[in-house]
Each structure stands twice: as C-alpha cells, then as structure tokens.
Amino acid sequence: MSNLKVAIQKSGRLSEDSLKLFEECGIKFNNGAKKLKAHSHNFPIEFLFLRDDDIPGYVEDGIADIGIVGQNVQDEYQKEVEVIKYLGFSKCRLSLAVPREEEYKDVTYFEGKNIATSYPNILKAFLDEKGVSAEIHTISGSVEIAPGIGLAEGICDIVSSGSTLMSNGLKEVDTVMKSEAVMVANKELTSEKQKIVDQLIFRINAVLEGKNNKYVLLNAPNDSLDTIISLLPGMRSPTVLPLAQDGWSSIHSVINEDDFWGNIEKLREAGAEGILVVPIEKMIK
C-alpha cells in the first residue's frame, strides 16, 4: 500500500500543533533531527516538512496528498485544493492597522493611501468589496515596520495578541479575515489514498470532539434527577447509579465545552454536588 504524503510546516507557528494532532491520533513517527521527511510505523503516512507558503502548491501538484496550512495562506494563494477539515488551532486574524495617533472611523480611511502587506490578494478582494481603492505594496516579512520607515500609511498583517503592533506604535482598526489551521487535500486522490484520508479524518474528529467536551460526574438527591437529566443529555442519555446513601444517585454524562459554566451553575441550583469534571481524550459518537 502506498503511503499518504502529508505536508507540514517545517518550523513555525503551525509545526508543533500539527505534529501533536497526529500524535493524538495515535500515529507514531520518528521526528528526531530536523529532516525533510519522516514516516510512521503504525499508519500508512509519510510527512514532508516544508515552508508553509509552499504547502498549497505542493498539494495542488500532488507532490503531497494533503497538508496543514493557515486558512490565510490558502486564501491568499488560491490553489486548486479541497479544504477538508478546520482544525481549530493557530487561530489568528488578518487585520488592518494604522499608527496609534491616527483618527480612524472606517475603512474609507485607506482611500488613496498605501498599505503594506504579505497578503495582496486577500486585501485586494476586501478593499474591492468595500469600494475602497488603495495602493497595495507587497512585502514578504516585517510588515509592521512599513509605516515607521515611510513605506505605507497602514498595514494589513496577521495579529493574535496585538503586542507586535503595539510595540511598533500601531493600532488594529479592522479585521479582514479570521483564520485557523486547515487541512487541504489534492482534488484527485486515488481511492486507496482517499481511504487513508477517511481513516485519518475519523481519528481527528474523535480527538477534536474530545477536546470540545468534558466528562462530568456528580451526586444528586433522587428528587432532582429529572431536572438534572434534562440539563445533561449526554451522548445518548446520562448514566444514573445509586449511591450507598439512600435517596441519592451518582450521574455521569458528557457536557459541551461551550455551555460548560452556564450548565454547571444550573446543575448546582438543581441540587447537584460533588461535581467532578474530567477531560476526554477521544470521543466517537
């Protein structure tokens, strides 16, 4: 059987979490010295370590079958690949920023001005949609210094905390797009490779679902069981076990990370106590 070739960023903000995802999927590989390639002994997969900018192109050409890349990079290069999974890590945004002292009302600020960016295509589409015409200067790195050296009045760059902007005397004024890591795939995978991708996605879903949910155990008096069960629907329905003490039960269920704190409040109001919350490693619905 031929291996599925997976393109991963060699070193950068995507690398660690990308590799961790495969590890969490139970795929073992030797990631010793910084090599160009690595392969797994327990899953038909082979890793290629590349610059992130090259990944969509290599996947389009079939040098790699799938790859992990920021949505921002995928949108910028617009290669003919399939986005098959949003992975939830490397979250950031592509934003417009101007010098801190500037007065900014809306994006028309940029009319007739110069903007430096590494994302000319995404920025152009955004400005076109807003009906703003500005001069886009494409530079490949250190975009944040452009206003300081007089190259442009504003920039469009990746932001997560905003500290880089701040230390360069800039402020974030508009979000052009939100981004996270995505898995992209070649559009003409053989059915053999598609099968491996399906197995991989099945495992990734189990890992991501696990992260989005918590296992909850609690004690409650039997007369509040109905209310508590309605708050904890779980996967099918919660497990209810009698406690040694008469009139009390232990309830086990799964709760979604998103409505976690709100639900815990309601459970306490309903009479739950001794609440334990345990992380879930994998979850298969």
Residue that has been written with the tokens 């969490």 in this structure: 24
Smallest separation (angstroms) from ligand ATP to the CB of 150:
24
Maximum C-alpha span of the chain: 77
172 touching ligand ATP, by CB under 6 A:
no
Q: Smaller CB distance to Zn ion: residue 48 or 220?
A: 48
Smallest separation (angstroms) from ligand ATP to the CB of 254:
29
Among 7, 21, 22, 52, interactor with Zn ion by CB under 5 A: 52
179 binds, among ligand ATP, Zn ion, none (CB under 5 to 8 A by kind): ligand ATP
Q: Are 239 and 249 in contact (CB under 8 A)?
A: no
Binding mask 122-161 for ligand ATP (x = CB under 6 A): ------------------------------------x-x-
10 touching Zn ion, by CB under 5 A:
no
Indicate the helix (H) or strand (E) that contains 278.
strand 273-279
Among 17, 24, 53, 174, interactor with Zn ion by CB under 5 A: 53
Q: Are 229 and 217 in contact (CB under 8 A)?
A: no
CB within 8 Å of 52: residues ≥ 6 apart: 9, 12, 14, 69, 70, 73
Tell me the site size for ligand ATP, rule CB under 6 A: 16
Among 4, 7, 14, 98, interactor with ligand ATP by CB under 6 A: 14
Smallest separation (angstroms) from ligand ATP to the CB of 161:
7
DSSP letters spanning 6-58: EEEESSSTTHHHHHHHHHHTT--B---S--SEEEBSSSSEEEEEE-GGGHHHH
Closest-approach residue to ligand ATP (CB):
70
CB within 8 Å of 275: residues ≥ 6 apart: 216, 217, 218, 264, 267, 268
213 touching ligand ATP, by CB under 6 A:
no
Q: Are 220 and 272 in contact (CB under 8 A)?
A: yes
Binding site for Zn ion (CB under 5 A): 52-53
Binding site for ligand ATP (CB under 6 A): 9, 12-14, 51-53, 70, 72-73, 90-92, 158, 160, 179
